[in-house]
Structure 1
Amino acid sequence: MINFNGIIVSQDANILTQNRAFLYGDAVFETVKIIDNKILFLEDHYFRLMSSMRVIRMEIPMNFTMEYFEEQILSLAKNNSLLDSSRARITVYRNDGGYYLPLSNSVSFLIHAVALENTYYSIEDKEYEVDLYKDFYVTKQLLSSIKTTNKIINITGSIYASENGLDNCILLNDSKNVIEALQGNIFMLIGNKLITPPVSEGCLNGVMRKQILGLAKKIYYIVVVEEVISPFDLQKADELFITNVIKGIQPITKYRKKNFTTKVANQLLQLLNEAISVN
């Protein structure tokens, strides 16, 4: 028997009592965007998931191929009539048993999906204000670059942003350098130089980050680099924007007393939509 919300019930009534994702955050996940019966950037998502599973010593089932990954996600989206435009999340967790030391490295997975309003990426013409989140810092290590279910810094940072009337916050690593936003990677334009922090700084190895790094090289006057960004650099920027697979590109229009333009963000958005329509 267990106590669940003040009621004594059978342990079997709550499947989370042994679930390692619930008990220890022993899980990794991928969030994908589906449009027109297709998972965008499928290969990048699949290989990042496989890499994440290897990093935390999960066994990868023999049948867990890219085709299987695709089939499982799209079959759920089809069943729920979500093939036109939706977001889906696959969470892979280590199976029940053990405490910190698991009894097995075998895995199970869970997929869920919800509808999205827009098929292609767009940028809303409105103010988007951010500030630094300094209550906690992200450690500069490999685990920080993969998508585990331990996102407590992102959660507390989101609460902080909401309490202070902000649209987002910028996270710092333990060297006090800028690494990313709460919901995506960050890019900074100074002059003709587009900068994003290297993954070695502790930022997420984002799928959309990879796409933007490639697309930006197609803009003839832009030089693309991966360099350390300090909080002081943000005040010098001409543009700041956030990237993730669901939103695409989100320009930051205001940081403290500094306002930013959105020219390159809009150019990249056009290139991004062209790329996904071709593929």
Structure 2
Amino acid sequence: MHICLDGKISNDGEPVFAADDKSYRYGDGLFETIKMVNGEMPLFDLHMDRLFSSIKLLEFSTPALFTAEKLKTDIITLCNKNGCASLARIRLSVSRGNGGIYEQDRDRLHYLIECWPGNPTTNQLNENGLVIGVFPHAQKSMDIFSKLKSANYLPYTMAARFAKQQQWNDCLVLNTEGYIADSSIANVFFIKGENIFTTAPSQGGVEGVMRNYLIRKVRNAGLTIEERPVSHA
């Protein structure tokens, strides 16, 4: 398989970053997980909106050629190179640069694109439901960084491990006030009668691309959806 680092394609066995990369050292980075179907990325624009707003919030220094159009071209080229453009799972990782926490002179954004053949079963509707529980060992803070899909993914990594150990399909992650932030892999929606609910953005969950897409579709259909704190009890 091949990867794309800063626009250059190479084999995935080659070194891709220095030991002092800030994303590796401190989790000072971001990532997007994007789906491609038949050479198209249906939610690409929403992914780019989230990525570039997150980059602005974290004050990353971006090169002039780092644009949504350039990333789209690189992703399509890589998926074609790896023979998985018909159905692909793509990870786009972004790092602030190299150096220590207080060093800024070497802050230069780096990006890495990886892709793999997608799993066709993920396109099938699960009609059996999910077995889920609550992750008891960590709580999400509620601040301006909580919504980011950060390279520091520790709470979700441990929640996913806990879910597997309990033989659950997924695990709810709570915030510091005991309300639902999200799950280890997704945002959370509820339907009760005619009413649709989802956790409010202020509750510490990642600002999911699918979440934003669903909210827009629901409202465009003339339905109402309420964003609010949600208890798991």
Cα distance in structure 2, aligned partners of 1:14 and 1:231:
42
- 2:228 and 2:169 map into 1 onto residues whose CA distance is 25
1:229 equivalent to 2:230? Answer yes
Root-mean-square deviation (Å): 2.0
Give the structure 2 partner of residue 215 of structure 1: 217
Structure 1 counterpart of 2:97: 95
- The CA deviation string for residues 95-137 of structure 1, in whole angstroms up to 9 with x for no partner, is 2122354433311111100111329832133342001112110
Which of residues 104, 109, 112 is equivalent to 1:110? 112
The letter of the residue matching 1:225 is E
Please say if residues 98 and 107 of structure 2, whose CA atoms lie closer than 8 Å, have aligned partners that are also in contact.
no
CA distance in 1 between counterparts of 2:105 and 2:27 reads 16
| Runs of 4+ with >4 A deviation | 13-16
Deviations 1:203-256 (A, max 9, x none): 111110011112223666x53111110122xxxxxxxxxxxxxxxxxxxxxxxx
Secondary structure of 2:71 counterpart:
helix
Write the distance in 1 (CA, Å) between the matches of 2:39 and 2:141: 38
2:63 is aligned with what amino acid?
A: P
Evaluate the alpha carbon distance shift between residue 169 and residue 96 of structure 1 in structure 2; reply closer, same or farther with a 3 A threshold: same
Tell me which residue corresponds to 1:37: 39
Q: Larger helix proportion, structure 1 or 2?
A: 1
Query: Quick one: which amino acid aligns to residue 148 of structure 1?
Result: S
Matched-pair contact (CA < 8 Å) for 1:139–1:173: yes
**5+ residue gaps in structure 1?**
1-12, 233-279
Percent identical: 22
- Count of aligned pairs: 219
Paired AA for residue 227 in structure 1? R
Structure 2 match to 1:138: 140
Q: Supply the distance in 2 between the matched residues of 1:119 and 1:66 (Cα, whole angstroms).
A: 29
- Distance (whole Å) between structure 1 residues aligned to residue 129 and residue 203 of structure 2: 29
Partner-residue secondary structure (3-state), 1:90:
strand
Q: 1:153 to 1:81 in 2, by over 3 A?
A: same
Please say which of residues 105-114 and 117-126 is displaced more in the overlay: 117-126
Q: Quick one: higher RCO (CA 8 Å, sep 6+), 1 or 2?
A: 2
**TM-score under structure 1 length normalisation:** 0.73
Gaps of 5+ in 2: 1-14
